[in-house]
Amino acid sequence: SEITYTYGIYGRGLSLVQIVTVVATSMVLPLIPLMTKMLAKNEKNEARGMIEKTHYITHLVSWPAAIGILALVIPINIALFKDTVGSDTLGIIGLSSVFTALVLLGTGVLQGMNLAKVGAYIIVGGTALKVLTNYFLVAEFGLIGAAFSTLIVYIVLFIVNSFMINRALPYSLCNAKITKFVVSALIMGAVVYAPSF
């Protein structure tokens, strides 16, 4: 009963993550055949532009949403679940949604580049890493350890995906616009969090 209760609290965060990742998912589905078509025609510049544009949109949507969830996690927890239990865990899982969205996008790009096997191996490696980090972090820190494990795994998956995509087709991974999104989202989060503080 304790395990079921604890997993129920962790599940609260997973439902919030879906809000952020739905945008990335909706972009991935049409992106895969489009990327395959462009690369089949050797339109590398167009494919590069498509990768950069989809990353741009994902960053634009994901950072404010994730930082917003992190800043408002206590009121959101009360509004949706009637208490503040597990708010710290929900906040960390909410923050990981940025990288979850970017991993979804990166996996879709790899599939579009006919590197589906590479994407699959990366996901399998991520699963092994999740088991390993859960084993140590949950034992040491409890439920919030599972949330940090999720964050770590998705950051690693994002880095590996980006490396593999960049190796096959170099593109601009981070630029001034994306930095502005992150900084703006952090400022927004601080302002939104101020009344709760």
Which residue, 100, 107, 72, 99, is CA-closest to 87?
72
Here the tokens at position 132 are 């390993």
Compute the Cα dihedral for 7, 12, 13, 17 and give only its sign: positive
Task: Walk along the chain (197 residues) and give the pLDDT tens digit of each residue.
Answer: 778 888 888 888 887 788 778 877 787 778 788 888 888 888 888 888 888 888 888 898 899 999 999 999 999 889 988 888 889 999 999 999 999 999 999 999 999 888 999 999 999 999 999 999 999 999 899 889 999 999 999 999 999 999 999 998 888 887 888 999 999 999 999 999 998 77
Helix ranges, 113-175 (H): 116-141, 143-168
Contact 42, 116 (CB under 8 A): no
Would you state the pLDDT for residue 130? 96
> Among all chains, which residue has been given the structure tokens 């900084």?
183
Q: ∠ CA(61), CA(35), CA(99), 5° rounding? A: 30
Would you state the pLDDT for residue 28? 77
Output the CA–CA distances (angstroms, integers) from residue 97 to 11, 21, 41, 143, in the order listed: 14, 7, 34, 17
Would you state the pLDDT for residue 64? 92
Exposure b/e, 119-129, CB count within 10 A at least 16 = b = beebbeebeee
Contact 21, 97 (CB under 8 A): yes
Rg for the chain, CA atoms, rounded: 18
Would you state the pLDDT for residue 71? 93
**List of residues 6+ apart from 91 with CB closer than 8 A:** 69, 70, 73
